[in-house]
Amino acid sequence: NFVERVTTANEYIWNNEGVLKIALVDCGVKYNILRNLAIRNCKIHVFPSNVSSDEILNINPDGVVFSPGPGDPVHNQGTVATASSIVRKIPTLGICLGHQIIARALGASTYKLKFGHRGGNHPVQDLNSGKVYITAQNHGYAVDETDLPAGLIVTHKNLNDGTIEGIRHEELPIVSIQYHSEAAPGPLDNAYIFDQFIELVQK
């Protein structure tokens, strides 16, 4: 389990002055994700990847983030179990591996890509607006569209191979994307995902 090698050993707080309380499950988080949340007035409680849902709920967060990280989501069943409880109670954002973890928590499957997505120039289309974003990606697994459970809706697709790049839920307050939202240096037009998450948190 590669996530165990990169997750934080201890809980810590980033931006103690923030107003919105966000719990972040660290599967290998990059500082730019923390910075993007901080500039949106968030106080981020960063937890190790093996955190339980009870530990998260104990801080009474306004929202929860499952971060990017390495490897196969199948190897992170504890984190999937935590997500399964959290997504039904609190606004949740998933990015990269976090996106796959949320999908599995809701009953979807994931699979290994024949050719992993690596680099900073992957075209991704927002299926609602039709807008195409150039994204940074670094992953070898994807959510399987052939057996999506009821309620899950595909929001973004990769224009190179047609794989899922984003999902939402008909009823639950979830934002979930496969690509990097905060890459720097790299495409910077994808940070809007944080704004969408904050909108869910503030509803």
State the catalytic residues: 96, 180, 182
HSE-up of 23 (CA within 13 Å, CB side)? 25
Contact (Cβ atoms closer than 8 angstroms) between residue 96 and residue 180: yes
Identify which of 175, 141, 184 has the alpha carbon closest to the alpha carbon of residue 156. 175
Distance CA 70, CA 75 (A): 10
